[in-house]
Amino acid sequence: MERHRTIFEQARQQLEKSLGKSPTTDDLMRLWLATATAWDVARTFESAVLDIAGSDLMPLPGEDYNQSLLAL
């Protein structure tokens, strides 16, 4: 989540620099969530889950993806 927050913070800074004001980082995140498609939200969530350090969901180089790890 922190990586995504950084992206929104950079957007906030750019808006402030360009326009002289900007919504807060949290408000920009809420705006994106409110206007993003379900596909965008799902893709971002899946990317964040797979990017967790030490996650068993990410296969090691040369290994195949083990979908059984997703079974609840």
DSSP reduced 3-state for 41 = helix
Q: State the pLDDT at residue 41.
A: 83
Is residue 40 scored above 50 in pLDDT? yes
Q: Which CA distances in Å does 1 have to 59, 60, 72?
A: 21, 23, 23
Q: State the pLDDT at residue 72.
A: 46
Q: State the Cα–Cα distance between residues 17 and 25, nearest whole angstrom.
A: 14
Give the confidence band of 25 by pLDDT, cuts at 50, 70, 90: very high
Is residue 54 scored above 60 in pLDDT? no
Higher pLDDT residue, 36 or 55?
A: 36
Higher pLDDT residue, 62 or 52?
A: 62
C-beta separation of 3 from 44 below 8 A: no
